Amino acid sequence: MFSELNNPELLKAQISKRINEATGLNNTSKSSILTHITDAIANTVHDTSSYTASVINSTFTEFASGDRLTDNAIEFGVIRNIYADMYISGEDGIVSLNTSDGMNFPRYANGKRVIAAGSRYTIGSTTVEVLNDVYVSSSESSIPLNVRLISQSSTDIKTGSYIDITNPKDINTASLRIVFNSPVYNRLYEEDDDALKSRILDSKMKVHGSSVNAIAGIIKSIPLVRSYYIDEDISGGVSSIYIATDATFEGKEELSIQEIRSRAVSKLDSLVSAHQSFKIEEAGILYIYPIYTYKNTTESMAIAAIKESFDVVYKPFSTSIDIDGIKEELATYGLEIEIDNIALKSKYYGTILMKSGGQISFPSAHILSFSAVDSIGVQE
């Protein structure tokens, strides 16, 4: 639409031509009056055109960015996410109520409520809100807690950290503490433009209820999630949601998986209907590596080219990869590299498959991680 107006040199040439036709001025040297007039007009038109194009494009989700995209999202009932809170389920055993000496809760407190739902405690810069009434039993020494973490900034809580909740006015709370049994990484995130655009587009197609589109929109909005796989049961309900982060693609364990799971659960609980159930899991990881020969190039360049070819061909959460497709893509680099075999490796069982061509198949809900470390290259 604005291609000519957005090309300063083309714009100047057109203006200069028209002035020449109208006035006869044809001196286009850098110091000429014609050049100065042309530059002044062209710069003004270009600036105006750029602003106009920006305003027009910002009305379309595909082209909007920043604050304009935020405004665009609001029109569709979508709010750019800024994450500060984190929900932790008692089922995960991350936070619990314990006695300071590790012994069972005292008999005199048996059956007593020691924490009321909504009670808040502080650890560092983080507020810990207990979401349910907590009653103790003298036959137990630990009770898992459902909590909400509230913070205005990114916060790390180390394993073993605790909050002493002893209340001098309530003997039942004597020597009780809230303990963090695993590390918690609570991050303050602002949703990026790509993720927000994806949710806006999903909202345009979304129907009421727990449709796959609606669930996908929520999963996409969670920080760190790079890809996902929704496993539907026969009746169309969602049984499992598998997620992958940058760490997953690198073949590493995602340390923030609990944080991701908690954010997802807190959002999906309000969407998924009562007759459906779901669980959120980290994707399984399988490793893929090449056996190859190369010449007239370096080993590092060879492996980089093979990895890039793999990245082009591989589709996350697919159940197979085309070896011949990788070879064809590699050929476009113009390097003397030949892939002899592609191997599939499991963390637990080592190399489980090796093929020279065709398809390599593997289970669903898994991510393939390219392993440069395992790759075997022979220089000719």
Residue type, 268: L
**Are 63 and 194 a contacting pair, CB within 8 Å?**
no
Residue-wise pLDDT tens digits, 76-111: 667 776 666 777 888 888 999 999 888 898 888 888
Residues 6+ apart with CB under 8 A from 47: none
Q: For the chain, which residues make up each domain, given as ranges? A: 8-58, 86-186, 206-282, 285-379
Predicted pLDDT of residue 3: 46
| Structural fold of domain 206-282 | Alpha-Beta Plaits (3.30.70)
Rounded CA separation 378/131 (Å): 60
In this prediction, residue 188 carries a pLDDT of 66
- Phi and psi at residue 200, in whole multiples of 5°? -65, -45
Supply the pLDDT for residue 323: 95
Contact between 184 and 258 under an 8 Å Cβ cutoff? The reply is yes
State the SS3 of 102-128.
CCCCCHHHCCCEEECCCCEEEECCEEE
CA–CA distance, 156 with 83 (Å, rounded to integer): 15
**Phi-psi region for residue 7, left (φ > 0), alpha (ψ -120 to 50) or beta?**
beta
Q: Kindly report, residue by residue over 131-140, the tens digit of the pLDDT.
A: 888 999 989 9
**Per-block average pLDDT, block size 10, for the chain (380 residues)?**
57 73 72 76 73 56 71 69 74 90 87 88 89 90 90 83 84 86 78 77 52 73 82 63 87 76 72 62 92 92 91 92 94 91 90 93 91 93
**What pLDDT does residue 2 have?**
44
